[in-house]
Structure 1
């Protein structure tokens, strides 16, 4: 009697992808093809993971625009993720994938253990469109050219996306709260900075 292997979890799929990659890694299109059954939540989670790793340079800049594109598609109600060729051909090399896999296991292994379907109405088609619009704002904040500005919104997008995959509305709420707090912090810093500059120049 043949016993079939249990299906891979998302983190296991990411780890396998990092192990199988050649030195040049995989393009975003290839990553999408490997996660085709998992749709928007999985792609956003995978792309957000490099942003969660402190001092992992270049990769967050590679993935931020594709993340925004996917979040906008969610907001528009598109059923399947799609990226234009220029974005889809961007590559994450083997080292970047390995760091992503390690970061995913380190930071989200415990989340995978506790995730379960709850508050599932938040993961339906209608709420998903609203969530997509909010995640787009979080993704945009990753582009702010300041040190460590990718880490907090990266965690927020990853947590909310993982919640969508697992149909865990509580995780989605956690991600949205974290990201909203970060955006509010950035807005406050910007306002205070502008007021300080205006005071210094006497405007």
Structure 2
């Protein structure tokens, strides 16, 4: 986190708010945004990218950040020490309007975690646990790409909570985020199974009718 002129430390949400307020109309690329966060931790990057996914009815930005989120989560799972985005993802741009919506939505929906979160249950946020957490978060990020209404909000909250817990070494927040995401993915799988079976059934009926005609 950065320090203000008065010597007090800015929180991550305050850094995002200041960045949005000072952004040009065309905004910044994801790589520029990461540089302005002044953070080398995966948690800060994942939290930032999860913000637009948490905001209901915010369209466009979640689709920009979903793949970069997966890339960061995968790097965590592979044991990388610092986050990195390839040019194809790092050059994606979020304009000032999108950044402002992220900052305002982050404060509205997730401002409470700044007071709630504190270091606890450190074993859950340790280096060994980070790799497992990265794999789990990768699954949550993938679910955001499911082309159904409101599919980004719940997993977005799951990633944001777990990422903020990672930043503050708060094992409880990490567990809450993981439980929320696992419940969401489980629900998607339960709903997807009958849909898949129905699709197979109709495909077989169509194929039978085609061959019989």
Q: TM-score, normalised by structure 2?
A: 0.90
Which residue pairs with 2:86 in the alignment?
84
Which residue pairs with 2:170 in the alignment?
168
Which residue pairs with 1:149 in the alignment?
151
Is 1:182 the counterpart of 2:150? The answer is no
Which protein shows a greater Rg?
Answer: 2
Secondary structure, in 3 states, of the residue corresponding to 2:8? coil
Alignment counterpart, residue 59 of structure 1, candidates 46, 58, 61: 61
Structure 2: runs of 5+ lacking an equivalent: 206-213
Deviation at 1:197, TM superposition (A): 3.5
Structure 1: runs of 5+ lacking an equivalent: none
Aligned length in residues? 201
Which residue pairs with 1:50 in the alignment?
52
Please tell me whether the aligned partners of residues 38 and 165 of structure 1 are also in contact (alpha carbons under 8 angstroms).
Answer: no
Alignment counterpart, residue 30 of structure 2, candidates 25, 28, 31: 28
**How far apart, in 1, do the equivalents of 2:196 and 2:39 lie?**
46
Deviation at 1:199, TM superposition (A): 4.8
Secondary structure, in 3 states, of the residue corresponding to 1:37? coil
Task: Check 1:86–1:199 CA distance in 2 against 1; reply closer, same or farther (3 A cut).
Answer: closer
Q: TM-score, normalised by structure 1?
A: 0.95
Question: Which residues of 2 match residues 52-131 of structure 1 at below 5 A?
Answer: 52-131=54-133
